[in-house]
Chain A
Amino acid sequence: MLGKRTLTGRIGFALAILLLVSFSLLPFAQILSTSLKHQYDWGNPSLIPQTINLDAYKELLGLTEAKKVEMPAAIQKILNNPKLPQDKKDAISAKYMSNDNLFPFGKYMLNSVIFSVGAATFSLVFSVMGAYSISRLRFKGQVVIQRSVLFVYMVGGVLLMVPLYQMAMNIGLASSLWGSAFCLFLIYIVQTLPVGMYMLGNYFRGIPFALEEAAMMDGCSRKEAIIKVVLPLSLPMLATVFIYCFIIGWNEYLFASVFLKQYPEFHTLPLALQELFVSKNAIWDRIMAASMLTLAPIVICFLFASRFMKGGKTDGGVKG
């Protein structure tokens, strides 16, 4: 009576799936396609490039040979001036040479990795401690803390950008490069900590207390019981939380733009890509290749994490 599948039903189902998957993947296909196309091919609606063009990737990854820039005669004359100190000469010639590498992708990627991996690590440590405390231990004020964590979890960054910026300004951090970077690092921890605590709290609650109790009977202290019993049991979830926090940091744009816009050497990928897009050096294939390379680590992490997230788990699913 139920689940009878007619032929038309099957075809309709297959079509619906096809439509859904195409809708989900079309923008990705477009990015990949454009990143591989030559400029004359951009207007061609087909997703398959007429000839594959890897120049944009090579350029971003620094695989192209540095082009020799012809020094204009006037500049050459200045450089030959014996009165000019050597460091000035180097600066001038460096300025002429620097046109080769318009978009130091590797540097931005390293910045992004440092910020997001670093923040995710701290966040994970604090969320393990906090989540264990509020999900497993009983003390006064616990409920208030739980509710507050949930509340701050849902307060968006937009509501915090002005006061956080002003606070950083007041204590003098926002006016220096390292101060700004430090602020951003702290903010990434704060942005990920409530999510981590929320996910881990739910997970810890599902681990039978009897396991810890047994360890404590054997003479472990509570701390040892956590380290020897609870954490090993939670490894998949710890990995998931770490990846989740990493993704949040990797994708973040708002605070990076507030704190780091004036320090190009510290730009993270989202900020750098946006700056590239609005600059005169914006070329579709270069932007798309950069997008592709920004996307790749996330896709890999996601495929890795999704192995642990089987079974319609929605532990982390409320954020977004």
Chain B
Amino acid sequence: MTPLERAEAKFGWKLVTPTILILGLLILYPLMYNVYLSFFDVQLNGYKTFVGFENYIKLLTNTDYYSAIGTTSLYLLGTVVGTTLLGLAMALLLKDPFKGRGLVNAAIMLPYVAPVISVVFGWQFLFDPISGVVNYLFVDALGIWSERTNLIGNPDSALWVVVLFDIWKHAPIAYLLILSKLVSVSRDQYEAAAIDGYGPIGRFFHVTLPELYFVLATVVLLRLIWNLNRFEDVYLLAPNVQTLPIFTYYQAFTGVIDQGLAAATSVIQLAVLSVFIWFYIKKIMKW
């Protein structure tokens, strides 16, 4: 190592040290501490007693836990498929420049940046059984449903409202990722395919889709990673939809508080998440 390189390395460490300290202390350490906590009976005031694997046994024999896994799976399936397809449709639709595209772009990005707490109230009002426009549409205007229903009040239907909400909120991000790849597909390829006799649909399947394969995989993986931990969107819109994060939150901070059990839930969830993240860093990230 030359003195210059040594000076560079020293400077590098100096700059990155605060970050390492903060992230280490407040993310990496808590993750390990969480594993430790999962072997204890933990009170809200910090009082702990060692219980070994009891939390895990309690968790794995709890039917609510399995139903939370089921709900989470449906939520993930619905949001991943919906967000990717809508994002793709948006990208295809808005790929070519047209008058007013900037405005349309701003409008469709708005759900993504808006505070969850504000927009959930809009959604709650839309689905309100008395004043909401959804009930008005399906009961009074179209007559498809025979009576007004509280879609958010019933956990089964609320899940699908939450899925729709999540698609609405995160399709813009899928759109941006897909669009950035889509605009790089060269026009020559489409013309070649057109000369070969492919119509618009054939061109989509033989040119666009193969080119987008990688970015679509990225979108799917990112949706899985973020939505596995999604808390606010679900809890604030429909607190009765118990996906895993909501289940954990209830265990940890409401009713009969059992933070050790919540810790055990988080440990299992982190293990699953780590697989997704490892896959993402390994296969997709080029940092």
Binding site for B on A (CB under 8 A): 1-3, 13, 16-17, 20-21, 23-28, 30-31, 34, 42-43, 45, 126-127, 129-130, 132-134, 137-140, 142, 145-152, 154-167, 169-170, 186-187, 189-190, 193-194, 197, 201, 222, 247, 250-254, 257-258, 269-270, 273-274, 277, 284, 287-288, 291-292, 294-295, 298-299, 301-303, 306, 312-314, 317-320
CB-based contact B266/A158 at 8 Å: yes
CB-based contact B110/A17 at 8 Å: no
CB-based contact A21/B121 at 8 Å: no
* Residues in B neighbouring A186, C-beta threshold 8 A: 22, 26
B window 103-145: CB within 8 A of A: 104-119, 121-123, 125-126, 130-131, 133, 136-137
Q: 18 A-B pairs, CB-CB below 8 angstroms? A: A17-B93, A24-B107, A45-B133, A132-B15, A134-B16, A137-B8, A158-B249, A162-B42, A162-B263, A186-B22, A189-B22, A190-B27, A284-B125, A302-B106, A306-B106, A312-B183, A320-B112, A320-B170
Given contact pairs A17-B93, A27-B126, A306-B106, A190 touches B26 in the complex (Cβ within 8 A): yes
**Closest 9 interchain pairs by CB?**
A156-B229, A137-B12, A27-B122, A139-B9, A130-B19, A163-B30, A133-B15, A291-B118, A169-B46
Closest to B93 in A: A16
B window 222-268: CB within 8 A of A: 222, 225-226, 228-232, 235-236, 245, 248-249, 252-253, 259, 262-263, 266
B183 to chain A, nearest CB (A): 6
CB-based contact B110/A302 at 8 Å: yes
* Residues in B neighbouring A134, C-beta threshold 8 A: 12, 16
Closest to A1 in B: B194
Option from A138, A306, A319 in Cβ contact (under 8 Å) with B5: A138
A6 to chain B, nearest CB (A): 12
* Residues in B neighbouring A299, C-beta threshold 8 A: 110, 113-114
CB-based contact A306/B107 at 8 Å: no
* Residues in A neighbouring B46, C-beta threshold 8 A: 166, 169-170
Instruction: Indicate whether B59 reaches chain A with its CB closer than 8 angstroms.
Output: no
CB-based contact A193/B110 at 8 Å: no
* Residues in A neighbouring B69, C-beta threshold 8 A: none
* Residues in A neighbouring B259, C-beta threshold 8 A: 162, 165-166
Instruction: Indicate whether B270 reaches chain A with its CB closer than 8 angstroms.
Output: yes
* Residues in A neighbouring B194, C-beta threshold 8 A: 1-2
CB-based contact A161/B5 at 8 Å: no
Interface of A is mostly: helix
Listed residue (B111, B117, B222) with the most chain A CB atoms within 10 angstroms of its CB: B117
Question: How many Å lie between the Cα of A75 and that of B134 in the bound state?
Answer: 48
CB-based contact A146/B248 at 8 Å: no
Given contact pairs A34-B125, A147-B281, A154-B225, A251 touches B22 in the complex (Cβ within 8 A): no
Listed residue (A1, A13, A139, A252) with the most chain B CB atoms within 10 angstroms of its CB: A139
CB-based contact B191/A1 at 8 Å: yes
Instruction: Indicate whether B163 reaches chain A with its CB closer than 8 angstroms.
Output: no
What per-residue 1/0 map shows which CB atoms of B1-31 lie under 8 Å from chain A?
0000100111111111011101100111111
Given contact pairs A170-B46, A193-B23, A155 touches B31 in the complex (Cβ within 8 A): yes
Further contacts, 6 of them, CB under 8 A, given A30-B133, A159-B270: A1-B191, A21-B107, A126-B22, A161-B252, A166-B259, A186-B22
* Residues in A neighbouring B106, C-beta threshold 8 A: 302-303, 306
B31 to chain A, nearest CB (A): 7
A9 to chain B, nearest CB (A): 10
CB-based contact B118/A312 at 8 Å: no
Question: How many Å lie between the Cα of A132 and that of B168 in the bound state?
Answer: 35
Given contact pairs A287-B121, A299-B110, A194 touches B23 in the complex (Cβ within 8 A): yes
Given contact pairs A159-B269, A317-B176, A270 touches B23 in the complex (Cβ within 8 A): no
Instruction: Indicate whether B49 reaches chain A with its CB closer than 8 angstroms.
Output: no
Interface of B is mostly: helix
Instruction: Indicate whether B150 reaches chain A with its CB closer than 8 angstroms.
Output: no
Listed residue (A3, A26, A161, A186) with the most chain B CB atoms within 10 angstroms of its CB: A161
Closest to A25 in B: B107
CB-based contact A23/B176 at 8 Å: no
* Residues in A neighbouring B112, C-beta threshold 8 A: 320
* Residues in A neighbouring B13, C-beta threshold 8 A: 133, 139
Instruction: Indicate whether B204 reaches chain A with its CB closer than 8 angstroms.
Output: no
Closest to A318 in B: B222
Listed residue (B98, B111, B113, B285) with the most chain A CB atoms within 10 angstroms of its CB: B113
Closest to A155 in B: B27
CB-based contact A312/B12 at 8 Å: no
Closest to A243 in B: B113
Question: How many Å lie between the Cα of A3 and that of B12 in the bound state?
Answer: 52
Closest to B122 in A: A27
Closest to A172 in B: B46
Given contact pairs A1-B194, A129-B18, A139-B8, A159 touches B115 in the complex (Cβ within 8 A): no
CB-based contact A150/B281 at 8 Å: yes
Question: How many Å lie between the Cα of A189 and that of B5 in the bound state?
Answer: 31
Closest to A189 in B: B22
Instruction: Indicate whether B65 reaches chain A with its CB closer than 8 angstroms.
Output: no
Instruction: Indicate whether B180 reaches chain A with its CB closer than 8 angstroms.
Output: yes
